[in-house]
Amino acid sequence: MLAVLILFAAHFGAIVIYAAAMGIGFQVLQLGSFSGEAVETVQDYFYFSAVSYTSLGIGDIFPEDNLRFLTGAGALNGLLLIAWSGAFLFAMMNRLWEWPRCATPEDPTRSRYQATPRQAGPTLRQGDSDDPPDD
């Protein structure tokens, strides 16, 4: 759970960095502008950065001029880092958790989790067996 929280915080931090870059690029460096919905507050920059980073791309805010390149870089970075996070968590779970085998070495065709002989139900007559017949 700690790893998930750390990864979430890292993604949140990356979204904040891209939001700050969008704000600086628009207001200070004048690299471009936004069309569609108005982008006026810090929350607007954060919202646009989050939908771009997660590749959601709702489409209510559109970057123009050189801000399009920064938006594309943020989307590509988000796509790669989110996919990497999933692969990292999977690899970590494989190392930390002991996964039971699907088949036992004694009988590779029988799964360890197959149903065991019935505990309840019709009783066996003497001489009968619930084992499958040998072929």
CATH topology of domain 18-91: Helix Hairpins (1.10.287)
Asked if residues 81 and 14 have their Cβ atoms less than 8 Å apart, the reply is yes
- Widest CA span of the chain, in angstroms? 91
- Provide the CA 51 distance to its chain's centre, in angstroms: 15
Asked if residues 46 and 19 have their Cβ atoms less than 8 Å apart, the reply is yes
Mean pLDDT for each 10-residue chunk of the chain (135 residues)? Answer: 89 91 84 80 87 83 83 88 90 79 62 51 54 57
Cα dihedral: 30, 32, 34, 38 (round 10): 10
* pLDDT given for residue 118 in this prediction: 47
**Domain chopping of the chain, boundaries:** 18-91
